[in-house]
Amino acid sequence: MKSPAAAQLIVRTVQTLRNTARGALVWGYEQRLAREVRAHQRLPRHLGLILDGNRRFARASGLQRELGHSIGADKAHEVLQWCLELGIPAATIWVLSTDNRSRDPQELAHILSLLEKEARALATDPRIHANRVRVRAIGQHDEFPPQVLAALNDLEAKTAHYDGMRLNIAVGYGGREEIVDAVKRHLHAQAQAGRTLADAAATLAPDDISAHLYAADIPDPDFIIRTSGEIRLSGFMLWQSVYSEYYFCDVYWPGFRRVDFLRALRDFQGRDRRFGR
């Protein structure tokens, strides 16, 4: 008869072997997915990412709420690497919405502190400069602390001349607010050109709004991924997403794996995009 210690050792050994085998299977599946995605060649020209579930991840993992945001920031760096490896031309990641600004002041202060830290890290990240990634922060930032604005401005200035991947960080962002800002910009331009409000209203066309959006110089997102299991856009790029394909993933953002990312892209590649036709 085996001793309790020997029995426990056997159980732990079996569990380790099972975990190793499971890990090997996932790794093999991930490699096959990567080959399929690369072979297909049709990738999003502009990928939208709604990073949702940081707080729920922390709660489910028994961690402090702030740690969920910190782990989520690290995950964003990983996903940037995956995009670079595949050669995705543009990506917009939604970090902080206009609605989020009403959260607990301590939590909001932590998120803004993380934003400053990550902006400064990206400004010196070798991957950004080696791949000539142009980074831009989009949204309403007037109420951000000066040090956060300085970090974002420095990041934009250091990458403004790059012609590689376009990375938009949507922070203090809301889709309705973006449309309102675009209308305001258009009306100001019309006024400066000497046109009356009646003239501006009579000639207003969708392209006039599109021309004044925060990221008007890149294509509309053709694929949008949202993590955490929520099936809604919550205001993400409302104007631009009229013909976007959507993918809703059950995993919380900090737990989003490369295999999840590749599954989403393979799903996108299998769709027949009709553009309303």
Task: Flag whether 86 is marked binding.
Answer: no
Buried b (16+ CB within 10 A) or exposed e, 239-248: ebbeebbbbb
Is 263 annotated to bind ligand?
no
Q: At what angle do helices 54-61 and 65-86 cross, to 10 degrees?
A: 120
Residues labelled catalytic: 52, 100
Residue 98 annotated in ligand binding: yes
Q: Two tokens at 148?
A: 């956060």
Q: Both tokens of residue 210?
A: 């599109």
Residue 12, annotated ligand binder? no
Question: Does residue 99 have a known ligand-binding role?
Answer: yes
Is 61 one of the annotated binding-site residues? no
Q: Has 38 been labeled as part of a binding site?
A: no
SS3 223: strand
Write the DSSP string, 153-215. Answer: HHHHHHHTT--S-EEEEEEEE-HHHHHHHHHHHHHHHHHHTT--HHHHHHH--HHHHHTTSTT
Distance CA 255, CA 87 (A): 23
Angle between helix 258-269 and helix 4-40 axes, rounded to 10 deg: 30
Residue 232 marked ligand-binding: yes
Answer yes or no: is 226 a known binding residue: yes
Q: Is 74 annotated as a binding residue?
A: no
Residue list for the binding site for Mg(2+):
52, 245
Residue list for the binding site for substrate:
53-57, 65, 69, 97-99, 103, 226, 232-234
Residue list for the binding site:
52-57, 65, 69, 97-99, 103, 226, 232-234, 245
